[in-house]
Structure 1
């Protein structure tokens, strides 16, 4: 890549991929069901890692469910630590502030966390894939630094993922999977670019 990735180009390229509809259908259905969602998580883990290494958005085939399940466990650890826990914590504060009559502040806080959590999670996932060391997920300061490299650019895909969740709550499995495809697709392209332009910085 000769320039910093542009989100609109990555987004259009992603949704022009052959089989994108079937990928979202399978991944979305799996995301609805506990335990089976590890297969969807594993797909996202392996796909984002492929993009980071090769810089291509080419979708994977659903042909290695055993491997996807194992990779899904790794993805789930990142998801729980850097997406689920922050979102649940923000939801708790939202309920508390709402009880105190501060609904607007509560909603603003919750919305900010929903926007920032995917960015932080993308950085944590990159850190894990970079060295394949689970203990690297404990280096919160370093993960925040990595997230800050493309923080402003990542706000747009995070907004798209947020919109999916807001507009399709009954179909949260599809919204969640499609949102992660957008966020991880763009972040992985960015990290691929960064590794090749400034490898010493990460």
Structure 2
């Protein structure tokens, strides 16, 4: 049975244990042994020693895992959870395949324009690079997130599944996660939508 590292911000949910248990059950049903962040962070003492322990535990789990599925649905902003992005890079650096999913169908550039202060486009839309009223370039490659995330996943044999419609509960909807499990089980690669 292949070991799969489950990366994502679900550990921050108030019902993290239930959500992670469901993801683990589904992984086992698809022939994987799940590993990854615990859902016990809320019960641990705060402080640098605890943070170091969590980092060591997660890095050990990543080294043991053969593949990874990462939830890159925007978390507390316009982009993926930064801890999840670290895990994606770590797994790719280890030479592991990473599949990812997002429950937000909008490209990253659209989210910047809609949600970031100063992200509204200044000047003609045809102008390149596209810039916000704050003068900063708006990355608009049509990708689900920053190019280093999606392009990195694709360049190393993974796939990013993007929902075509935003589900009612993007933090807990597992449709795209299940699509990633099927892709890993069946050996699929490339970019896709659900």
TM-score (norm 2): 0.31
Bigger helix fraction: 1
Higher relative contact order (CA 8 A, sep 6+): 1
